[in-house]
Amino acid sequence: MEETYLLNVEGVKKKILHGGQGELPKLQDGSKFTFHFQTLKDDFERTVIDDSREAGVPMEIIVGKMFKLEIWETLLSSMRIGEVAEFWCDTIHTGMYALVSRGMRRIAEGRDPLEGQKHRCGMGNMFDYHSTGYEDLDELQRAPQPLIFIMELFRVEDPSAYKRDTWAMSKEEKLAAVPVLHSEGNRLVLRREFAQAAAKYQEAVICLRNLQAKEKPWEDGWLKLESLVTPLVLNYCQCQLELGEYYEVLEHTTELLQKHNDNAKAYFKRAKAHAAVWNEREAREDFQRVAHLDPSMAAAVKKELKQLGERMRKKHVEDRKRYQGLFQSSQGL
């Protein structure tokens, strides 16, 4: 269709390039749009800035989740399934595009979209960036301008029709998901599916950490969430011990003990990881802390120390034989 349609939004024009099917989708908070898009400059050449088809993955946004380029939710809400439309958007709607594009490009490159970003509002972050890392986006950041978006809408899903990532969940949904994920992790441990169990525990921790970020550290709300995080982290570390990921265990238990230096279970798991990578002194120190903090674990500590001593003695014998062999070989040259 050649006719230009004006949306009931200031600074936006719409032109339908290919008609869609059915009625306009009924939307609610949590509905998910899946679509391809192309971003063009409003110049004579219609210079292409971004094209989701080049990345090979359609774009997804969630209604009501404060996507930084808010106008996109409005544009998509005017489309039918299968529709292809071109939207001209004035500068009042495109000022954040450089920041949004930067994140999308980083994701497509397999990089962290938030790398280097301070925990501030979107506009505050704009002033923090000296450069986006992309010359064309730096230009847009210095001088925002009207842009053209060509969009093809594939589907709109209700919140109940898809599994939402943790970032897309409400506070209540995250809190409800945690015990379910914890239980699923425990069930997988019983089946000795440790990698899958670790993923469940990790997802639960992410839910809680997201909620903690909105609380003041060490106040009641934060502490209540922390009490839920701790056993999940310990379960995750136990899975990593079973998988032989000892340095992963050292990292997470050390982080946990920086906040809770009286947690005997964290010391015990860290001691086992130290022992596994031949850090004898650190392992013995952690095992001794365990026995001091929790006398009920004294028998387990005694057993671990005995096994550590035997392993270290065996290693010393093997190392001595190896060095003797190397010395004799060098003497024969």
Phi/psi of residue 91, each to 5°?
-60, -30
Pairwise CA distance, residues 308 & 176, whole Å:
42
- The neighbour count for residue 324, using CB atoms within 10 Å, is 10
pLDDT the model gives residue 38: 95
Pairwise CA distance, residues 37 & 24, whole Å:
19
pLDDT the model gives residue 129: 46
pTM (predicted TM-score): 0.54
| DSSP class per residue in 294-329 | -GGGHHHHHHHHHHHHHHHHHHHHHHHHHHHHHHHH
Determine the residue type at 278: W
pLDDT the model gives residue 318: 79
Hey, what domains does the chain have and what are their CATH numbers?
4-157 (3.10.50.40), 171-318 (1.25.40.10)
pLDDT the model gives residue 118: 41
Pairwise CA distance, residues 169 & 99, whole Å:
23
- Express the helix, strand and coil content of the chain in percent, nearest 5 each: 55, 15, 30
Q: Crossing angle, helix 171-190 and helix 194-212, to 10 degrees?
A: 160
| DSSP class per residue in 169-223 | S-HHHHHHHHHHHHHHHHHHHHTT-HHHHHHHHHHHHHHHHHHHTTS-TTSHHHH
pLDDT the model gives residue 283: 94
Q: Report whether 297 contacts 291 (CB < 8 A).
A: yes
pLDDT the model gives residue 329: 57
pLDDT the model gives residue 206: 87
Q: Return averaged pLDDT per consecutive 10 residues of the chain, 333 residues in all.
A: 71 93 84 92 94 85 75 92 95 90 77 46 43 85 92 86 60 84 94 93 89 88 93 96 94 94 96 93 95 94 92 82 62 53
pLDDT the model gives residue 321: 72
